[in-house]
Amino acid sequence: MAIAGYIGFYIMISPLLVLILAGYWKLFEKAGRPGWEALIPVYHLYIMLKLSQRPLWLLLLLLIPGINFIISIGILIDFIKSFGKVGIGQITMSVLLPFIFIPKWGFDKSTRYVGPSASDDFREKYRDLSKSPVREWTEAILFAVIAATVIRGLFLEAFTIPSSSMESSLMVGDFLFVSKINYGARLPMTPIAFPFAHHTMPLTGTKAYWDGIKLPYYRLPGFSEVKKGDAVVFNYPMDADSPFYRPVDKQENYIKRCQGTPGDTIKLEYGQVYVNNQPMPVPRNGEMEYRIRTDGSVKGFDPGTRYNLHMEDLQQFTRVDFTANMTAQSVEKLKAYPFAKTVKPDIKLRGVYDPEVFPHDPHFRWNEDNLGPIIIPRKGWTVKLDSLTMPFYQRAIEVYENNKVQVKGNEILINGTKADSYTFKMDYYWMMGDNRHNSEDSRFWGFVPEDHIVGKAVFVWMSWDANAPSWCKIRWDKVFRRID
């Protein structure tokens, strides 16, 4: 299944991007611009605005989440109109099937640049098809909203990495695309919502959806199932609780790496993940906390060293003792520094109880580096219910599978009926961040139900490093990079 997933990714993504960029290159040349301008993100939109004579201040709207997608489609529509593609069918195909029609128009000899679509001369030439500017933009925005909703809901959705829980595999400032088709698109469960706002309206902070209508969970067929090692976007299950009480598809989006799939037995021993008693590969660019002891010849780490070694959450305890989150590659570099005496993983000992760790029960004296074994529920699996299993599975039975659970002494009632076992209706997953000591994940709140799965993170299309010491903030080595 892993091979099929990668084949699907390469077939559906990479060649399509090449086709679109090649088409833009040729169209730019037909309009008298260098073709290479089509390859530069954002700048190519600036050129498209100039070619259609739309106001350049529209670029500022690209900074507003949700609105930026609509504006991008509006710029595309004006751009292709400047090549005489003014029919509703041509406009529709350019938005929904750009990988076919953009290169087609770029390479065919009959398509040529006929002038700025926003100019008076253009409107006069196509006056039979032209509308007033207000009506034109109203229809363009409506069309863009519909098209964007379909694309985001069924095919691809753009996400931004806001936190460091997946570093250094995925960095803060990475802009990535999440495929809905790999696992199958999940149809809307809360259908009445403001476009692109997810759960909260910007500025007002009010709900961006109405939960008066709720649809049952249904997922379209996909290329593959969720696999161990996949970088998965899902809805944060704890948002079902106070103070938010959000519906499943309006819960916050999280991205973590799948470590366990339905039916697996998972455990951690001194930071190493084991699934069915087999060690899981450590993420190549993953981070964890290290304890650093120096010889005392330096008072601390200068900003340049911290940036070059990507030392996060640096703390100093004594004149010679520090801790920091780092990758294994950075640790090897640090060991070569003359003042570094020892650099060791800061792993918690077995038996040190952390009440924040799942299942939050003192019978299981676990911590984030040592826990388990835990059986991950799968659809159709029947578990015996008692005082040892209820801490693990009560939330899944009650919250995720919508049952009323009561525990009265040694008696367990499900929907008012005494029960000593339960058969699960859904599959569940175990998700963990690659930054093992700076990630809120399944170690703290348990399982992720299948109806919470949004999609698979497939590639980074832009990476912005706000902390870079140079004027160039783009991480060029991550641009258009497939996510491992």
Residue 225 confidence (pLDDT) = 94
Query: What is the set of domains in the chain, with CATH numbers?
Result: 1-131 (no CATH), 153-259+445-483 (2.10.109.10), 287-345 (3.30.70.80)
Beta partners for residue 413, in sequence order: 406, 418
Tell me 39's DSSP state: G
Characterize the bridge pairing of strands 321-327 and 382-384: unpaired
Sign, CA torsion 439/453/357/276: negative
Most distant CA atoms of the chain, gap in Å: 83
165 in catalytic set: yes
Q: Strand, helix or coil at 146?
A: helix
Is residue 472 exposed (0-12), middle (13-18) or buried (19+ Cβ within 10 Å)?
A: exposed
* Residue 206 near residue 179, CB atoms below 8 Å: no
* Listed residue (480, 429, 478, 368) closest to 232, CA to CA: 429
Residue 406 confidence (pLDDT) = 94
Tell me 193's DSSP state: B
Beta partners for residue 464, in sequence order: 474
Give 61-91 as a 3 state SS string. HHHCCCHHHHHHHHHHHHHHHCCCCCCHHHH
Q: Of 52, 165, 330, 442, which one is the catalytic site residue?
A: 165
User: How many angstroms separate the CA atoms of 432 and 349, rounded?
Assistant: 20
Residue 3 confidence (pLDDT) = 43
Q: Of 26, 256, 456, 478, which one is the catalytic site residue?
A: 256
In a structure prediction context, what are the per-residue pLDDT tens digits for the chain, which is 484 residues long?
344 444 444 455 577 888 899 999 999 999 999 999 999 988 999 999 999 998 888 888 877 755 777 788 888 888 999 998 888 778 878 887 888 899 999 999 899 998 898 888 887 777 655 555 666 666 666 666 777 777 778 888 888 888 888 888 888 888 888 999 999 999 999 988 887 788 998 888 889 899 888 999 999 988 899 999 999 999 999 999 999 999 999 999 999 999 999 999 999 999 999 999 999 999 888 999 999 999 988 777 888 889 889 899 999 988 899 999 999 999 999 999 989 999 999 999 999 999 999 999 999 999 999 999 999 999 999 999 999 999 999 999 999 999 999 998 889 999 999 999 999 999 999 999 999 999 999 999 999 999 999 999 998 888 888 888 877 788 888 887 888 8
